[in-house]
Amino acid sequence: MTGETGVGLESAIRVPIELGERSYDVWVGPGVRHCLSQVVPGDAKRVAVVTQAAVADAGITVDPGIEHRVFITDNGEHIKTLGAVEELCREFAQWGLTRRDAIVAVGGGAVTDLAGFTAAVYHRGIRVVYVSTTLLGQIDASVGGKTGVNLPEGKNLVGAFWQPSAVLCDTEALATLPPEEMRSGLGEMAKYHFIADADLHALGLVERIARCVEIKVEVVAADERESGRRAVLNYGHTLAHALEAHGGYDLRHGEAVAVGLVYAAELAHRAGRIGVDRVAEHRQVVGDYDLSTRLPAGADADALISLFNRDKKAVDGVTFMLDGPEGIQPVTGLEPALLRETLEAIR
């Protein structure tokens, strides 16, 4: 992490992402959304601000410093559809947004995913800035350039790699979040404890968020297009995505990831990759964030195992990111009986 000075940003923590011509900075701190005009591309004439109703209702607004129009979506993950992308593109075209202009996404991961993918395809690519206002968005969705929308068949099955021009993680906005939304972010934060064996509990919240961003940046810089190392960021996500796709459990994404982390640890233990102490560590970290370590009541093991095959990592059959002697790695060839046995072990 690098402290960097600048008018209005001197109290924020700067985390640079070095990707050649696609490099950009992530700024973490209270009130950084008010510095938006400093990071909007200087030659942009107009900005389309895409945000959610809940963000606007919470009084979270931005001023890009140039002509702009606000486009408000519904709340929640259900906004991430191809239909929503088409609707935004048509509204942008009717307004006259050009390739030289920019999009600013204000809100959580659903907004940055939707607006980022729209930016990737509108005029074959338009610049985008993220103002992330949720914990989950700040430590995960807004950083790294992955964008996407969902299909009825699964989560994030249509998307693109499209790096933003800048990211502002406004920790002041976290005070407006309901408890369940904070829990969702904490589930994703728990993942970073194991990706880098980081002692995040020793840090204050702002520093902890910045450290999570830094961990993700290190992974992304080494594998921007998810051809290898970057898959480690999906730790705990195979079960999490299956739980989300199966639905009916009222779980937020990070809450599902928390269960997925414990499942991955139990699976790694049964596969002979880690010992019981490492499994206990997973349970401890997740529990310290006051998150569940068990499957939701009524979870259908057969349905979840079937959904494992639709995961984006499943190019050579069901693939899990599992802990082991050399860290977290992709593992294939796990028998359905073992997957089912491990699901029963976390009920």
Which of 107, 128, 129, 109 is CA-nearest to residue 173? 107
Q: Which is catalytic among the residues 216, 252, 269, 273?
A: 216
Distance (Å, whole) CA 255 – CA 190:
10
Residue with tokens 């959610």: 52
Q: Which is catalytic among the residues 127, 253, 273, 313?
A: 253
Is 230 among the catalytic positions? yes
Is 216 among the catalytic positions? yes
Distance (Å, whole) CA 235 – CA 192:
9
- 161 contacts: CB under 8 Å, gap ≥ 6: 120, 145, 146, 147, 224, 225, 226
Tokens of 147: 């964008």
Tokens of 48: 């389309």
Per DSSP, 138 falls in state I
Q: Which is catalytic among the residues 155, 181, 183, 188?
A: 188
Q: Which is catalytic among the residues 124, 153, 326, 344?
A: 124
Is 241 among the catalytic positions? yes
Tokens of 169: 């993680």
Asked if 235 and 261 touch (Cβ cutoff 8 Å), the reply is yes
Please state, as a whole number, how many other Cβ atoms lie within 10 Å of the Cβ of residue 134. 29
Core vs surface per residue 247-261: b (16+ CB within 10 A) or e: eeeebbbbbbbbbbb
Is 313 among the catalytic positions? no
Q: Which is catalytic among the residues 237, 269, 282, 312?
A: 237
Is 156 among the catalytic positions? no
Is 237 among the catalytic positions? yes
Q: Which is catalytic among the residues 234, 244, 273, 313?
A: 234
Is 123 among the catalytic positions? no
DSSP-derived 3-state class of residue 184 = helix
Is 34 among the catalytic positions? no
Q: Are strands 127-132 and 154-161 parallel, antiparallel or unpaired?
A: unpaired
Is 312 among the catalytic positions? no
Tokens of 269: 């233990």
Q: Which is catalytic among the residues 241, 252, 282, 312?
A: 241
Q: Which is catalytic among the residues 33, 46, 80, 146?
A: 146
C-alpha distances (whole Å) from 296 to each of 236, 244, 246 are 15, 11, 11
Is 309 among the catalytic positions? no
Q: Are strands 67-73 and 46-52 parallel, antiparallel or unpaired?
A: parallel
Q: Which is catalytic among the residues 181, 214, 224, 226?
A: 226
Which residues are catalytically annotated?
A: 124, 146, 188, 216, 226, 230, 234, 237, 241, 253
